[in-house]
Amino acid sequence: MAVSRFSASVLRMSCPVMIWAMHFLAIYGFTAFVCARGLADLRWLGVGIVPWTITLVTLLAMAATIAVILPAARAARASFSHWMAATIGALALIAIVWEALPVFIVPTCD
């Protein structure tokens, strides 16, 4: 029983970091693909495909991270692993927002 409890704790604490890593790979991989294929000029409702996609992926990653943070925060007083999961989740949430900001500041494929 201790092994499964340990595994659950490790997964709970590392899940926000895995979400952040998937977000990082998705947005930078997609941007690299669009730039390499010369598709950066594609627009929808006057906005480029890269900002649309990065915004959508960022919102999904934020929702997934919040879905990890909320139950962990509710149980944070009960155990150290819940407190760590909530704290790491908050840091991952900041990192997700921070890495999505350049799409609104920097030109896409210059």
41-95 pLDDT, tens digit each:
877 888 788 999 999 999 999 999 999 999 998 887 888 888 999 999 999 999 9
Mean pLDDT, range 3-28, rounded to an integer: 89
The answer to whether residue 3 scores a pLDDT higher than 90 is no
Closest Cα to residue 109, out of 52, 30, 20, 24?
30
Confidence of residue 25 (pLDDT cuts 50, 70, 90): very high
Confidence of residue 2 (pLDDT cuts 50, 70, 90): low
> How crowded is residue 13: how many other Cβ atoms within 10 Å of its Cβ?
21
Beta strands in 1-99 (DSSP E): 43-44, 47-48
Alpha-carbon distance of 85 to 73, in angstroms, equals 8
